């Protein structure tokens, strides 16, 4: 598998997780799992997605707080 296709897969995964995290039709548990999944990716791109989620005023406050927490963990790791 080439590096380009791996990056493409990561982009697809980021988009999928961001979509799940912002879909208010899904359960809160699923949105939280998506936010945690983005935090587990621990990449610069996932950091940016988490910051966008934290700024999204349509999400519930606990979900926005979790996005900030997971983003902070990525920053602390130095990525």
Residue tagged 């590096």 (tokens):
3
**pLDDT: is 10 or 53 the higher one?**
53
The pLDDT tens digits of the residues spanning 5-30 come to 556 788 999 999 999 999 999 999 99
- CA 35 – CA 1 distance, rounded (Å): 27
| This prediction's pTM | 0.87
**CA Rg, the chain, in Å?**
12
- CA 20 – CA 35 distance, rounded (Å): 9
Which of 53, 59, 52 shows the shortest CA–CA distance to 24? 59
């Amino acid at each position: 598998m080439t590096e380009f296709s791996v990056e493409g897969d990561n982009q697809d995964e980021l988009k999928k997780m961001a979509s799940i995290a912002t879909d208010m039709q899904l359960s809160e548990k699923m949105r939280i799992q998506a936010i945690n999944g983005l935090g587990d990716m621990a990449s610069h791109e996932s950091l940016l997605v988490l910051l966008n989620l934290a700024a999204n005023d349509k999400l519930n406050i606990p979900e926005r707080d979790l996005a900030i927490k997971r983003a902070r963990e990525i920053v602390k790791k130095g990525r």
